[in-house]
Amino acid sequence: MSKQKGLEYWLQWQVPLCAVIIVIPAVVALNYIRNDNKNNARTLRSFDLWNSCWRNLNPFWLLLYRAFAFACLTSLLYNMFAVTGAFIFFFYTQWTFALVTFYFAVATLVSAYGCWMSTKKISSEDGVSTYKEEEFKDKIKLQSPHAQKEIHQKAGFLGSLMQAVYQTCAGASVLTDLVFWCLLVPLLANVQFKLTLLIGSLHTMNVVFLIGDTALNGLPFTWYGFAFFAVWSCLYIIFQWIVQACGFMTWWPYPFLELGTPLAPLWYFGMALFHIPCYAIYAMIVSVKNSFLPRLFPRAFVRLN
């Protein structure tokens, strides 16, 4: 709609129905996170956060990859911000892109700390050894009980945050890229926007860097993370509703968010369901990694989770 939305717009019958479609998944996801946080199927170890799933690959290379990804994504985000200003954050793509950038920032810090810890000398029963000596001898069996306790400790808040953001980014990146390339580009390119190298990169490099990180890391990927993905999308839609209600924008950044059509509930319901295959696609990528790579590279690949 081209004019500011008045009260009559928000009193249409489809608005409360769309609200229910948003609120119910958000409440269910938040309740699931609260109840299952302590009962998560697997304890996340600090070891998983910074180590590689490749036996002979020093974690320092994972650190370099994450730092490189963070630098590239930050540059792309800055260039987009320089072109359009804060307006870019009205779009789900930029929300997700910023979240992926944040993930690589946290992952870089965690990897740097892990690499530092891997060279730290500790006391063992046989004298003095290092994490590096004990750990890379065999990534699963550690000689020093003290090293084993330290490395396999619970990851803590930062580790849990990192895993939650990682899984949220996975689903959200697949969602944004599929919607953009399969729906928006065929229907709206050269009508509502012009496809440029920068815009194309924003809808490609997020998932490319994530898949690269997945190919190297030892992080677990479970359906527990789908709850965070659902909450992330619900937060964006609530944000959009607030922006529209306050009159900061007079048009919807995505046509399927428009509430002034009788088909709005179907669009909202369809997008809600579409989150499942998007997350499943990335879960399948991780499953293929953990299923086939050990067979192809039995001496090089170590399944850490």
Coil, helix or strand at residue 122: strand
Low-confidence ranges of the chain (pLDDT < 70): 1-4, 37-43, 120-155, 303-305
pTM over 0.95: no
Phi, psi (deg, nearest 5) at residue 127? 130, -135
- Rounded to 10°, the helix 264-296/205-216 angle is 30
From the list 225, 220, 190, the residue with the least C-alpha distance to 304 is 220
Q: What is the pLDDT of residue 128?
A: 45
Q: What is the rounded distance in angstroms from the CA atom of residue 235 to the CA atom of residue 173?
A: 16
Q: What is the pLDDT of residue 140?
A: 39
pLDDT, tens digit (0-9, with 9 covering 90-100), for 211-221: 999 999 989 89
Q: What is the rounded distance in angstroms from the CA atom of residue 157 to the CA atom of residue 53?
A: 23
Give the CA distances from residue 131 to residues 112, 135, 303, in Å, rounded to whole numbers and listed in that order.
Answer: 14, 6, 19
Q: What is the pLDDT of residue 3?
A: 54
Range 125-142 burial, b when 16+ CB lie within 10 A, else e: eeeebbbbbbbbeebeeb
